[in-house]
Protein backbone atom coordinates (compact mmCIF):
# COMPACT_ATOMS: atom_id res chain seq x y z
CA UNK A 1 0.00 0.00 0.00
CA UNK A 2 1.33 3.42 -0.97
CA UNK A 3 1.13 6.26 1.49
CA UNK A 4 0.32 9.49 -0.28
CA UNK A 5 1.83 12.54 1.37
CA UNK A 6 -0.37 14.97 -0.57
CA UNK A 7 -3.77 13.30 -1.05
CA UNK A 8 -6.36 14.81 -3.35
CA UNK A 9 -8.03 17.53 -1.32
CA UNK A 10 -11.69 17.29 -0.41
CA UNK A 11 -12.47 20.55 -2.24
CA UNK A 12 -12.32 18.87 -5.66
CA UNK A 13 -9.22 20.72 -6.84
CA UNK A 14 -6.16 18.85 -8.02
CA UNK A 15 -3.46 18.17 -5.46
CA UNK A 16 -0.14 19.97 -5.54
CA UNK A 17 1.36 16.52 -6.20
CA UNK A 18 -0.51 16.42 -9.55
CA UNK A 19 1.13 19.69 -10.57
CA UNK A 20 4.55 18.68 -9.30
CA UNK A 21 4.36 15.39 -11.23
CA UNK A 22 4.26 17.41 -14.47
CA UNK A 23 7.44 19.30 -13.59
CA UNK A 24 10.70 18.16 -15.11
CA UNK A 25 13.71 18.53 -12.84
CA UNK A 26 16.88 19.76 -14.51
CA UNK A 27 20.22 18.85 -12.93
CA UNK A 28 22.43 21.75 -11.97
CA UNK A 29 25.82 21.99 -13.69
CA UNK A 30 27.61 23.25 -10.57
CA UNK A 31 27.56 23.80 -6.81
CA UNK A 32 25.76 27.18 -6.60
CA UNK A 33 22.06 27.96 -6.28
CA UNK A 34 20.02 27.19 -9.37
CA UNK A 35 19.56 30.79 -10.52
CA UNK A 36 23.30 31.14 -11.20
CA UNK A 37 22.90 28.70 -14.10
CA UNK A 38 19.87 30.27 -15.82
CA UNK A 39 21.74 31.13 -19.05
CA UNK A 40 22.73 27.49 -19.58
CA UNK A 41 19.38 26.07 -18.44
CA UNK A 42 17.20 28.49 -20.41
CA UNK A 43 18.95 28.56 -23.78
CA UNK A 44 21.59 31.26 -23.46
CA UNK A 45 21.68 35.02 -23.10
CA UNK A 46 20.62 35.93 -26.68
CA UNK A 47 17.41 33.90 -26.38
CA UNK A 48 16.63 35.22 -22.89
CA UNK A 49 17.28 38.84 -23.89
CA UNK A 50 15.05 38.46 -26.98
CA UNK A 51 12.29 36.84 -24.89
CA UNK A 52 12.53 39.51 -22.18
CA UNK A 53 12.39 42.38 -24.69
CA UNK A 54 9.43 40.94 -26.62
CA UNK A 55 7.51 40.08 -23.44
CA UNK A 56 8.02 43.63 -22.12
CA UNK A 57 6.76 45.00 -25.44
CA UNK A 58 3.70 42.73 -25.26
CA UNK A 59 3.01 43.72 -21.64
CA UNK A 60 2.52 47.37 -22.66
CA UNK A 61 0.83 46.77 -26.01
CA UNK A 62 -2.89 47.64 -25.83
CA UNK A 63 -3.68 45.79 -29.09
CA UNK A 64 -4.75 42.24 -28.28
CA UNK A 65 -4.07 40.89 -31.82
CA UNK A 66 -0.55 42.39 -31.78
CA UNK A 67 0.08 41.14 -28.24
CA UNK A 68 -1.02 37.61 -29.22
CA UNK A 69 1.19 37.72 -32.32
CA UNK A 70 4.22 38.60 -30.15
CA UNK A 71 3.46 35.71 -27.77
CA UNK A 72 3.08 33.32 -30.72
CA UNK A 73 6.44 34.54 -32.08
CA UNK A 74 7.92 33.42 -28.74
CA UNK A 75 6.36 29.97 -29.16
CA UNK A 76 3.38 30.31 -26.82
CA UNK A 77 0.23 28.57 -28.02
CA UNK A 78 -2.42 31.29 -28.04
CA UNK A 79 -5.94 30.67 -29.36
CA UNK A 80 -7.24 33.22 -31.89
CA UNK A 81 -9.54 35.00 -29.43
CA UNK A 82 -7.61 34.66 -26.17
CA UNK A 83 -7.29 37.99 -24.36
CA UNK A 84 -4.18 38.86 -22.35
CA UNK A 85 -4.55 41.97 -20.22
CA UNK A 86 -2.13 44.83 -19.79
CA UNK A 87 1.03 44.10 -17.77
CA UNK A 88 0.60 40.30 -17.78
CA UNK A 89 4.02 38.71 -17.27
CA UNK A 90 4.79 35.53 -19.21
CA UNK A 91 7.69 33.31 -18.18
CA UNK A 92 10.74 34.81 -19.95
CA UNK A 93 12.70 31.56 -19.97
CA UNK A 94 10.02 29.23 -21.38
CA UNK A 95 7.10 31.12 -22.94
CA UNK A 96 6.69 28.21 -25.34
CA UNK A 97 5.32 26.16 -22.40
CA UNK A 98 2.23 28.41 -22.11
CA UNK A 99 -1.08 27.46 -23.76
CA UNK A 100 -4.11 29.77 -23.69
CA UNK A 101 -7.49 28.48 -24.89
CA UNK A 102 -10.14 30.16 -26.98
CA UNK A 103 -11.96 33.11 -25.37
CA UNK A 104 -9.95 32.98 -22.15
CA UNK A 105 -9.19 36.23 -20.34
CA UNK A 106 -5.97 36.75 -18.40
CA UNK A 107 -6.36 39.72 -16.04
CA UNK A 108 -4.10 42.71 -15.48
CA UNK A 109 -0.65 42.09 -13.99
CA UNK A 110 -1.02 38.30 -13.73
CA UNK A 111 2.19 36.26 -13.78
CA UNK A 112 2.37 32.91 -15.59
CA UNK A 113 5.43 30.88 -14.61
CA UNK A 114 6.73 27.76 -16.37
CA UNK A 115 9.80 27.29 -14.20
CA UNK A 116 10.66 27.35 -10.53
CA UNK A 117 14.07 27.83 -9.01
CA UNK A 118 15.21 26.80 -5.57
CA UNK A 119 18.61 26.72 -3.97
CA UNK A 120 19.39 23.23 -5.24
CA UNK A 121 16.91 22.62 -8.03
CA UNK A 122 15.51 23.94 -11.31
CA UNK A 123 12.14 22.63 -12.48
CA UNK A 124 10.10 23.31 -15.60
CA UNK A 125 6.49 22.52 -16.49
CA UNK A 126 3.78 23.64 -18.91
CA UNK A 127 0.83 25.86 -17.99
CA UNK A 128 -2.44 25.15 -19.79
CA UNK A 129 -5.38 27.55 -19.54
CA UNK A 130 -8.51 26.08 -21.11
CA UNK A 131 -11.17 27.78 -23.21
CA UNK A 132 -13.59 30.28 -21.66
CA UNK A 133 -11.45 30.68 -18.52
CA UNK A 134 -11.39 33.98 -16.63
CA UNK A 135 -8.34 34.81 -14.53
CA UNK A 136 -8.64 37.94 -12.39
CA UNK A 137 -6.01 40.63 -11.95
CA UNK A 138 -2.77 40.13 -10.02
CA UNK A 139 -2.79 36.32 -9.98
CA UNK A 140 0.25 34.06 -9.99
CA UNK A 141 0.04 30.76 -11.86
CA UNK A 142 2.75 28.25 -10.98
CA UNK A 143 4.42 25.85 -13.44
CA UNK A 144 2.64 22.62 -14.28
CA UNK A 145 -0.87 23.99 -13.58
CA UNK A 146 -3.89 23.13 -15.73
CA UNK A 147 -6.99 25.31 -15.56
CA UNK A 148 -10.08 23.60 -16.98
CA UNK A 149 -12.60 25.01 -19.43
CA UNK A 150 -14.96 27.62 -18.07
CA UNK A 151 -13.16 28.02 -14.74
CA UNK A 152 -12.84 31.36 -12.95
CA UNK A 153 -9.88 32.40 -10.81
CA UNK A 154 -10.53 35.31 -8.44
CA UNK A 155 -8.19 38.31 -8.44
CA UNK A 156 -4.99 38.14 -6.36
CA UNK A 157 -4.93 34.33 -6.22
CA UNK A 158 -2.03 31.89 -6.11
CA UNK A 159 -2.83 29.04 -8.49
CA UNK A 160 -0.64 26.26 -7.09
CA UNK A 161 -2.70 23.29 -8.28
CA UNK A 162 -5.07 22.27 -11.04
CA UNK A 163 -8.50 23.87 -11.38
CA UNK A 164 -11.29 21.63 -12.70
CA UNK A 165 -13.59 22.77 -15.50
CA UNK A 166 -16.25 25.24 -14.41
CA UNK A 167 -14.84 25.77 -10.90
CA UNK A 168 -14.70 29.16 -9.19
CA UNK A 169 -11.53 29.45 -7.09
CA UNK A 170 -9.59 32.12 -5.27
CA UNK A 171 -7.23 32.88 -2.43
CA UNK A 172 -3.62 32.27 -1.47
CA UNK A 173 -3.35 29.40 -2.14
CA UNK A 174 -6.51 28.78 -4.13
CA UNK A 175 -9.56 27.08 -2.70
CA UNK A 176 -13.07 26.54 -4.10
CA UNK A 177 -15.40 29.48 -3.70
CA UNK A 178 -18.46 28.14 -5.54
CA UNK A 179 -20.03 26.06 -2.80
Of 138, 140, 130, 158, whose CA–CA distance to 86 is shortest?
138
**What's the pLDDT at 16?**
84
Cα 5 to chain center, whole Å? 24
Sorted by where each begins, the domain ranges of the chain are 16-176
Q: Looking at residue 9, what is its pLDDT?
A: 58
The Cα–Cα gap between 60 and 28 comes to 34
Per-residue pLDDT tens for 121-140?
A: 899 999 999 999 999 999 99
User: Which pairs with CB-CB distance under 8 Å and at least 24 residues apart come from 30-36?
Assistant: 33/117, 33/118, 33/119, 33/120, 34/117, 34/118, 34/119, 34/120, 34/121, 34/122, 35/117
pLDDT below 70 — which residues of the chain? Answer: 1-10, 179
Question: CATH number of the domain at 16-176, please?
Answer: 2.160.10.10
Q: So what's the pLDDT on residue 29?
A: 87
87, 125, 80, 92: which is closest to 106 by C-alpha? Answer: 87
Which pTM value belongs to this model? 0.91
Per-residue pLDDT at 10: 56
Q: How far apart are CA 66 and CA 60, in angstroms?
A: 11
CA distances from 114 to 7, 97, 177 (A): 24, 6, 26
Looking at residue 6, its pLDDT comes to 44
Q: Between vectors from CA 47 to CA 72 and to CA 56, what angle results, nearest 5°?
A: 60
What was the pLDDT predicted at 123?
94
Question: Tell me, what's the pLDDT at 106?
Answer: 98
Amino acid sequence: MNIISDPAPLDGLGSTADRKARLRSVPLPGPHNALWYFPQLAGGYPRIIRNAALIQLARYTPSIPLKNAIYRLLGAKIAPHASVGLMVMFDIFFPEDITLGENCVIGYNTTILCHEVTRREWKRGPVVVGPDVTIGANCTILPGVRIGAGATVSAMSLVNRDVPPGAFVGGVPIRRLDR
